Amino acid sequence: MAETQAFDSEMERIGDALVAMREAFEPPASMLAEAVEGLILPEEAKLAIEAERFKASGPGRQAVEAALAHLVAGLAAEIEFRACEFDMREVPTRFEKLIGLVSRSAMRRRQLARSRRSVSLDHLAELLRRADRLAALVRAERVTLLAQRSKGEADLKAFIDHRPDIIEKLHGENGEAMTGVEAARRTEHFVAVFQTFIDGLNAGVGTCNVLMHKLLIDVEDLLILYQVFSEVVSRYGDKDLRPEDFPNLFPEIERFSKGMLSVHGLDRRRDLANEAFAERFPAEAVRQAAAVAHPAGAGWRLPAISDLKFIRP
């Protein structure tokens, strides 16, 4: 229960942080659209403010992305640990072997009790619920970033196409308003600032792709584990998963429900997803490995992001 509450609380904090950052997209997007519509440049001071805003928002976005990666890696570590626990359920632990020196029957009873505890379909269903919430959040962020990037790219392209007209307007009919060199420099600066803005959006889309790829691969592993657990405890009918209960994982759950899950190529796809994740979030990849190797002392602690300051308009 405590783990579930901690996960849900962290998801709320991440969701609030993402909403704040989406609101911060509005001023620069409006500035770019106005420049294209009126074929004019904003004042240098206003452009400098937006350029500084981009720079200042970077650490905040990185922190939120790392928090999301932490949850995704934590879910993967839990799935992997449960799979290992299931595989080792019939192998006596060191302590059970010591008990066996005194009483073989006591050792067997303790081993059977551990085996039953390791097979928890309810716990696996809870992991699926967490995966479903993560998928919803990552997909929503990706859709938002894609829409903003598409609009920004179109506006910036239109601005570049009309750059000669803008330079001419800045230069003035008799060249009295601004020199040609100065007019060209100002337009180039404007393009550079908003290319940075679009590059940031594009990087965000790439991060969402990495997180989503890993998450869905981990969900496939979880569903396979669920199926194996179900067969062992002979309760498959009682614990049948319904796609509508996990709307953000509907295709994956539907394939599972129809018996269409396949391990063909899964190892290769898992390796690719984990490599991309480790490249983007090396610290979280290391923590995931440590949590699986040393589950008792790994201390998979949710990072606090509530104190982060996000740049608002």
Q: How many CB atoms sit inside 10 A of residue 79's CB? A: 24
Q: Are 224 and 261 in contact (CB under 8 A)?
A: yes
Predicted local confidence at residue 118, as pLDDT = 58
Closest CA relative to residue 303, chosen from 4, 1, 21, 74: 74
Closest CA relative to residue 226, chosen from 154, 306, 124: 124
Q: How confident is the model at residue 301 (pLDDT cuts 50, 70, 90)?
A: very low
CA–CA separation, 6 and 9 (whole Å): 5
Closest CA relative to residue 68, chosen from 172, 173, 215, 263: 215
The whole-number average pLDDT for the span 278-295 is: 82
Per-residue pLDDT tens digits for 198-224? 999 999 999 999 999 999 999 999 998
Q: How confident is the model at residue 305 (pLDDT cuts 50, 70, 90)?
A: very low
Closest CA relative to residue 234, chosen from 116, 92, 78: 116
CA–CA separation, 102 and 100 (whole Å): 5
CA–CA separation, 149 and 29 (whole Å): 10
